[in-house]
Structure 1
Amino acid sequence: MARILLFGRLSDIAGWREKTLEPAPARLSDLRALLAADDAALGEALAAPGVQVALDQVLVRDDAALSPRSEVAFLPPMSGG
């Protein structure tokens, strides 16, 4: 089962921080579509500029294949100082 993590304002919008999905979607784009279909506000937030995705603790920039045991973390835009 895939483990989905949301951080910062993304978890505030969704109302959850961690969720598991079984079966896991085949691709990251499928996961985004599934989450957006379930919660339009979350889908919009995940599509916003600056949102990053870590797949199995490695940042990815493009669509990627998911395994049944993938961990996918959605990270909101960061600001620093």
Structure 2
Amino acid sequence: MTLQIRYFAWMRERVGTATESIETEAATVAELIAELSARDEGYALAFSDIAAIRAAVDQTLVDMDASLEGAREVAFFPPMTGG
């Protein structure tokens, strides 16, 4: 499947892009993270602390074990704070 991936804040800085389109066979967000982490050092660094990352699939916050079936977009970002 083809997914649009979006990165925000320090994640964008570490992977070197704000958005990209990828082909993947990942079934869950966690599998997608493992695939992306294996790309290169910047991706590995961006995903090195899963507890410091939030994910949204088609603009809905999800857990890392969420399915990607039928998804069009996955966004990764640091935890949000109020204020």
TM-score (norm. length: structure 1): 0.80
- Structure 2's unaligned 5+ residue stretches are none
Of 40-49 and 58-67, more deviation after overlay is shown by 40-49
Residues 62 and 32 of structure 1: CA distance in aligned 2, closer, same or farther (over 3 Å): closer
CA distance in 2, matches of 1:33, 1:75: 16
Stretches (4+) displaced over 4 A: none
Deviation of 1:61 after TM superposition, in Å, equals 1.8
Identify the residue that residue 63 of structure 1 maps to in structure 2: 65
CA RMSD of aligned residues (A): 2.0
Q: How many residues align?
A: 81
Any gaps of 5 or more consecutive residues in structure 1? none
- Partner residue, 2:20: 19
Using the size of structure 2 for normalisation, the TM-score is 0.78
